Amino acid sequence: MQTVRQLRNVAGRDWLERGLLPLVVLAAEVGWFYPWLVWLGKLPLFSGQRVALAPVSVMVLLGGAFLVTRFFLRRRWPPGRGAFGVVCTGLLVILLVLRGEYGAGYGILNGQWFGFISRNLLGLVSEGSFAYLQPVVVALAAAFYLWWRGIRWGRSIFAFEEIYRAFVTGAAALVLLGVAWFLSSVYRDLGNMLAAVGIWVIGFFFFGLVSLALGNFQVIRQKMAGLEEATSLFNRRWLGLLFLIVIGIVLAGAGLASLFSADTAAVLGRWLGLAGDGLLWIVYYVLIVPVSYLVAGLVYAGQFLVSLLGGGELTQVSTNVTDNITQSENITAIEGDPAALPPAVLLTLKWVILAAAALVVVYLLARAVARARPSRAKDEVEEVHESLWSWALFRGDLSLVWQALRRRFARKRPAMVTVLPELPGYKEDEAIPDYPDIRAIYRRLLWEGEVAGVGRRAGETPAEYAGRLERAVSGGREELGFITEQYQRARYGEEVPEPPGILAQANRLFHGFCGRLRALRNNAGV
């Protein structure tokens, strides 16, 4: 029931938690699981050399289980009825997937297909040898496993710990696959392995890193839940940068993979050549040409000033970059075509650019991981770090400084005190009961402060209000600090019940502090 309640809370959140995060997590699962099917299909253990399940079938089974589980969990049905629906739907989907993968030319409604599948499944028993194991056996086992994994993710709330555990499990599975592939008697060529499953390994790390980043991103957003404008700005600024970083990591990994596979190197070489040519073209027309015109303009201006002061003829300076380069090439006579860079130099330049991009990406990722680690913070101090910079933020900061200066030197207006009406169930000077949760205690604290003439102002944080209330009553630092801290945890933190000891202590401190508030009210004659 706890899982169902948490899923209903998730359903009301934005598209990041409902759509993008589950999508990349499931894609990472496919990225590490499908290479195992490829390796099993290449073993001589089976009678037919084929992959047990196609990539589309793997995605259908995993994603279908996830969607079906979420569907039944949100129907408010009894647990037994929902589990029965998930199991029946799973059996139907597995049957349809096997029918599509191992049709063997039979018609869709042909009943002889069931006999064909039964003979393949019982081939191990009838032949009595592992050499005649059929791929459909692996397909059936993989289908049940994928459906089970989809159910697990369908019941998950995608906490960062779960995402991290899944990523580590997938990485360990790929390492184990590499060892198993190498130990196979006829498949010890690393190049062949990368050519067969390299794209899936790259996909796993791409979607796995995206899922880790989104999980950490979600944790930070929850900490900033009380600041709606900051959360919206945080979303816009970080999502684009996140995908750029992960794409850079994937490109760096693809470059490393090309060192071990000739086929991968050929494909990546073509794309890298096009990217390098485009980059050189952009550098030439965006950087070199404007700089050449700027230098020529400065030279003309200098010659004009010299002619005004001392006379003399102006030397013609060409603003054409090609003419300048040609003149310098004529001075340094080199055989052949000096304007064209050798292919080896171009290739080296491209690899240097790629290596620099990879270093930048690794540095940014290392900083992100370092920030995700828990650290011992000072008491009553909570920090949210964000180090990005943009012109919009700079202009916003200048605007805030200007507004602060205007407020400082502007004429002070008398503050308007608004007394809230009595809330239902609250009466002045009544005995204060023990409240069942910390938020009820804080609501009563706000009411008592309002009646005493120290109400909470609009836009005032709980910590700011606690400081002002403490100054008004001349004491109560311990009581206010404890109640405010527990309220912030309950209001902005995870939804966990307060321990009985904490709640009892909060009620006891609140009773003592209310005596201070009522004494303040009586002294002021309210």
**Is 284 contained in some domain?**
yes
Chain length of the chain? 526
207 and 111 within one domain: yes
**Is 330 contained in some domain?**
no
278 and 245 within one domain: no
Residues 284-311, mean pLDDT to the nearest whole number: 70
CA distance linking residue 139 with residue 306, whole number of Å: 85
Report DSSP letters for 367-401, one per residue: HHHHHHS---PPTT----------HHHHHHHHHHH
pLDDT at 113: 78
Map residue 514 onto helix, strand or coil: helix
Q: Which of 22, 112, 127, 21 is nearest to 66 (CA)?
A: 22
146 and 100 within one domain: yes
CA distance linking residue 524 with residue 526, whole number of Å: 6
96 and 76 within one domain: yes
Segment holding 11, helix H or strand E: helix 2-11
111 and 225 within one domain: yes
Q: Which residues pair with 46 in a beta bridge?
A: 133
Q: Is residue 8 scored above 50 in pLDDT?
A: no
Report DSSP letters for 145-168, one per residue: HHHHHHHHHHT----HHHHHHHHH
Residues 350-369, mean pLDDT to the nearest whole number: 71
**Is 175 contained in some domain?**
yes
- The count of domains in the chain is 4
Give the domain extent around 301: 268-320
230 and 346 within one domain: no
| Predicted confidence (pLDDT) per residue in 46-98, tens digit | 666 778 888 899 999 999 999 999 898 888 778 788 888 889 999 999 888 88
**Is 325 contained in some domain?**
no
| Predicted confidence (pLDDT) per residue in 88-126, tens digit | 999 999 888 888 888 777 776 677 777 777 777 766 444
272 and 178 within one domain: no
Segment holding 296, helix H or strand E: helix 289-310
Q: Which of 175, 142, 156, 167 is nearest to 55 (CA)?
A: 142
357 and 277 within one domain: no
CA torsion 17→18→20→24, rounded to 10°? 90
| DSSP 8-state secondary structure symbol assigned to residue 185 | T
In single-letter form, the type of residue at position 473 comes to V
146 and 253 within one domain: yes
pLDDT at 488: 82
CA distance linking residue 455 with residue 471, whole number of Å: 13
Structure tokens at 404: 């602060």
In single-letter form, the type of residue at position 371 comes to R
35 and 153 within one domain: yes
Q: pTM for the whole thing?
A: 0.46
Distance of alpha carbon 212 from the chain centroid: 5
Residue 312 CB contacts under 8 Å (≥ 6 apart), including other chains: 306
| DSSP 8-state secondary structure symbol assigned to residue 45 | T
**Is 326 contained in some domain?**
no
Q: Which of 247, 248, 206, 201 is nearest to 355 (CA)?
A: 248
241 and 93 within one domain: yes
| Predicted confidence (pLDDT) per residue in 458-499, tens digit | 778 888 888 888 887 777 778 888 888 888 888 776 655 666
**Is 384 contained in some domain?**
no
Q: Which of 468, 454, 445 is nearest to 515 (CA)?
A: 445
| Predicted confidence (pLDDT) per residue in 190-248, tens digit | 556 666 777 888 888 888 888 888 888 777 776 665 555 445 545 555 666 666 676 76
Query: Is residue 113 a contact partner of residue 106, using CB atoms and an 8 Å limit?
Result: yes
Burial of 34 (0-12, 13-18, 19+ CB in 10 A): buried
56 and 177 within one domain: yes
Distances (CA, A) of 131 to 104, 123, 124, 336, 501: 21, 10, 8, 64, 65
Q: Is residue 429 scored above 70 in pLDDT?
A: no
